[in-house]
Amino acid sequence: MKYISKIIALLVAVHVTTAAADERPDIVLIVADNLGNGDLSCYGCPDINTPNIDRIAAQGVRFTNFYSNGPECSPTRTALMTGRYQQRIPGLECALGTGNVGRYDDAIALAEQHNLGLLPQENVLIPLLNQRGYTTVGLGKWHLGYEKHLLPPHHGFDYFLAALGGTVDYFYHNEPTGEHVLYENHTQVRRDKYLTDLITDGGVEFLKKQPGDKPIFLYLPYNAPSAPFQHPDIKPDRPKVSHKWDSKDWQKGDRATLRLIVERLDHGVGKIVETLKSTGRAEKTLLIFCSDNGAYPVAASNAPYRGHASELFEGGIHVACMARWPGKLPVGVVDVRPTLTFDLTASVLAAAGCEHRSDRPLDGVDVLGNIAAGKSPEPRTLFWRARRADRTWKAVRKDQLKYVWRKDDDGLSEYLFDLGKDPGESNNVIGTFDPEASALKQELAEWEVAMKPSGN
């Protein structure tokens, strides 16, 4: 009888384990690059049509107080991969410069040591998904290190077609210096296709080839709609190259071209969604769309917010985000809770049933799990810091109040905004609410002390 009881117990355990494995959702995470809050139809854009992205929002949850962890690419992507504030890791508070250039003291020192970027041991998201049996694939913008030992395969990706840098020619896949930066896993490769379409088509091919009995994590960090502003259907005779870095040259563009770039991105999202349906995965897929930060003020719009990418005014960090998860998330909900990029990391890991690493505790919150469970948001304070050369921005948001500290060549400036009354940050009330500003400054100072690099 004891032997039979053990067999029954073993069979029950196997059944429970199998059931848990079968409950692992497929996960598709789409990240746009420098997409302004005001450039999607579902966020009020009047002149750009984005029906496929809008449909994700309509069929799930659309966030209206979603923030990127940083006002630039590399910091936000660091937070996404680690689930933690990027300030815990040296050198990643600013976007990596073209050709692996460090842009402030810590980053400069790491670049000289050929170690600037996200170290694989800091990546929490991909290794934990691998441990849960996920096939992990990425196509698109990496921007977390040019060095060979920092490429995506070392982070656990089963496959990655990566544009290594921050600003890449859509057709020729080179940086402004002329360096070709398209890599397939460890190897530099050439592809003859508009980069948005290359990412989309690779994602579609992957989805069609994968067996349905193994969960997938598909990461699609598009470079669109970032500069340079290149018409999707008109390939120039030669690459857009500036041997002397000139951001103004690469940032030149008009609204009509930006519209085409965003709409091609939306078309790509539509193809991914249709492939999920045709492969029978749609109803078991957690699908997330967001932007890595706000847009630069060329042809894009961060409306109704002040400021732009690289700043900590709302226009630099208040971005679009939405998620669809049939049977789990409610449909057609607009959620107003303040949320950060690394909350998506916590949500993905929770959805996949991953165990957390005790040596790298998450800073993010399982916001999607909380919404699925009908939990009300708990009060929280959000923090930012962004460095570049001698310029530093800091910010903290608690409830509706946001304090911003900026030091640059013009000196020191401080701001306090009541976002409930003034989401566009047009009225600096720091003189009116000095006690509140002092309290936020104190919390910000304590947070900075707590942000120690891992292992220290």
Asked if residue 18 belongs to a domain, the reply is no
pLDDT, residue 76, reads: 98
Inside any domain, residue 410: yes
Domain identity same for 170 and 137: yes
The answer on 167 and 43 residing in a single domain is yes
Within this chain, do residues 366 and 395 fall inside the same structural domain, yes or no?
Answer: no
Same domain as 259, residue 194: yes
- Structural domain contains residue 146: yes
Q: What does the pLDDT average to over 275-298?
A: 97
Mean per-residue pLDDT of the chain = 93
**Helix runs in 294-374, H state only:** 314-317, 341-352, 367-372
Q: Is 372 in the same domain as 420?
A: no
CATH of the domain at 407: 3.30.1120.10
Q: Is the pLDDT at 247 greater than 90, yes or no?
A: no
- Per-residue pLDDT reduced to its tens digit, 257-283: 999 999 999 999 999 999 999 999 999
- From 358, 381, 404, the end of a domain falls on 381
State the residue range of the domain holding 338: 27-381
Percent of the chain with pLDDT over 70: 93
Share of the chain above pLDDT 90, in %: 88
Asked if residue 2 belongs to a domain, the reply is: no
My answer on whether 416 and 319 are in the same domain is no
228: in domain: yes
Is 418 a domain residue? Answer: yes
Query: Contact, 294 vs 36, CB < 8 A?
Result: yes
Tell me which of 338, 364, 381 is where a domain ends.
381
Last residue of a domain, one of 381, 401, 420: 381
Residues 357 and 434 reside in one and the same domain? no
Decide if pLDDT at 325 tops 90: yes
156 with 273, same domain: the answer is yes
Q: Dihedral through CA 131, CA 137, CA 143, CA 145, nearest 10?
A: 50
With b meaning 16 or more CB within 10 Å and e meaning fewer, what string describes 255-281?
eebbbbbbbbbbbbbbbbbebbeebeb
Per-residue pLDDT tens over the stretch 11-57: 333 333 333 456 899 999 999 999 999 999 999 999 999 999 999 99
196 & 243 share domain: yes
Arithmetic mean of pLDDT, 308-335: 98
Q: How confident is the model at residue 223 (pLDDT cuts 50, 70, 90)?
A: very high
Mean pLDDT of 81-90: 97
Domains contained in the chain, number? 2
Question: Tell me, what's the pLDDT at 244?
Answer: 56
> Is 184 inside any structural domain?
yes
**Statement to judge: residues 283 and 347 lie in one domain:** yes
CATH number for 328: 3.40.720.10
Q: What is the pLDDT of residue 6?
A: 36
- Asked if residue 359 is part of any domain, the answer here is yes
How many CB atoms neighbour CB 198 within 10 A? 22
pLDDT at 300 over 70: yes
